[in-house]
Structures are given as structure tokens and as C-alpha cells.
Amino acid sequence: MAFPENMFVPFGVVTAALIAGAIAYAGFISTKESKVSEFRQNWINNLRDEISKYISCVDSLIEHIRKDNAGMMFPAAKHMEKKLEHSELYTQMLQARISILLRINDKEKKPEDFERNRKFLDLIDSIYKNFESHKFSEVYSDIDALTSASRDLLKFEWNRARDGERKFQEAKSGAEWTMGVAGAFLMAILMTIGYEALTAALASTTANNEINPATTLKAPH
């Protein structure tokens, strides 16, 4: 079946426009995703620094309080007054705690993400409460648990930064799919045009051969 030659022009134009648009959109998505991933990586690095700062401040305060109260027969509540003699360190601990709490989303939609963040935030609060209650052995137990929970959280966030946000992944996949379909369609058009041109050329050659048969040459006597 022969197709009208002029039907390929609009199809070709539309297909080429789809490919160009998909390429431009994929480039835009890639650039935006790269910037978002960069911001998220900075966020991860800052969160890691705040966790380290929080743990180190708590540990240092405990050491100072124990040293300041060595040999003193004061009740636990009296011991904790010594923390005020290290107000700068205590303030840094409070700032790190608040900074961490503000960085973590406590309303993640996926159950596993919500549970991961909840466990992490509970440990941050437990360390603070046990410290203020002079339960130093429990503080160190919580610090060990927090170290493990932090690894899980930071690894998850790093993977999310590496792979990109879900909507960017979907948009990128959509652009790639569009380019693939449009490319295949354009290839089909080109192949059809080539087939039509070859068929026309063969038909023209056959017709010429029928109109102008070959002359048989006779050898001279």
C-alpha cells in the first residue's frame, strides 16, 4: 500500500518536536535534580556535624560534672548545678539538640521512613532527659543507640540524594520514554519513506524495461 508523500511531513515535524522537547525537558530535570541533590548533600553534612557536636558536648559535660563533684557528698540534683559553670558548652549542646530536631521531618508518609525518624528523634530527646536527670549510664547507652540510628538515617538520606527525589525520577523516566517512542516513530517513518522510494524505483525500472526491450544483436555473416 502506497502512502501519500505529503502525509510524512507533518508526522516528521511533530516527531522531531517531541524529541527536541523531551531532550530539553530531560535537561531541565537533570539540572534541577542536580541542584536539589547538592542541597540535600549539604543538609546531610550539616546534620552529621550537629549530631557529632551534640554527642561530644554531652560527653564533655558529663566528664566536667563528674570531675567537679569528685569526692563531694551532694545529691544528684546538686551535682547538676555544676553544668552552669560550663555554660558555653551547655549552650552548644542545647543549640545542637534544637538544630537536629528542626532538621528531621517527623511526618514522613512512608511507615518505614516515619519509624526511622521517630526512633532517631526519641534518642535525641532521651539523651537530653537522662542527662538532666543525672542518669549518665543511660545517657551513654542512648549515645551508642543514637550512633547506630544515625548511620541508618544518614545512609538513607545519602541514597535519596544520590538517586534523586521520586518526582524527578518519574519526570526523567517520562522524558526518556517520550524520546524512545518518538525516536522509534521517526525511525518507522524514515523506513517507510525508504521503502516507498525503493518500491517506486523498482517499479519505474520494470516499466522502462517493458517499454524498451533489449535489442538482440546478431553476429555478421
Q: Tell me the domain boundaries of the chain.
A: 46-166
Look-up of cell digits 505529503: 6
Phi-psi region for residue 153, left (φ > 0), alpha (ψ -120 to 50) or beta? alpha
Per-residue pLDDT of the chain (221 residues; tens, 9 = 90+): 444 555 555 656 666 666 676 666 666 666 666 666 778 888 899 999 999 999 999 999 999 988 887 766 566 666 677 788 888 999 999 999 999 999 999 888 899 999 999 999 999 999 999 999 889 999 999 999 999 999 999 999 888 877 765 556 666 666 666 666 666 766 766 676 666 666 766 767 776 666 665 544 454 55
Which is it for the CA torsion 77, 80, 82, 87, positive or negative?
negative
The answer to whether 34 touches 28, Cβ cutoff 8 Å, is no
Question: Which pTM does this prediction carry?
Answer: 0.62
Calculate the dihedral angle through the C-alpha atoms of 145, 146, 148, 153, rounding to the nearest 10 degrees: 140
The answer to whether 36 touches 162, Cβ cutoff 8 Å, is no
Calculate the dihedral angle through the C-alpha atoms of 163, 165, 171, 172, rounding to the nearest 10 degrees: -20
Q: In degrees rounded to 5, what are phi and psi of residue 200?
A: -65, -40
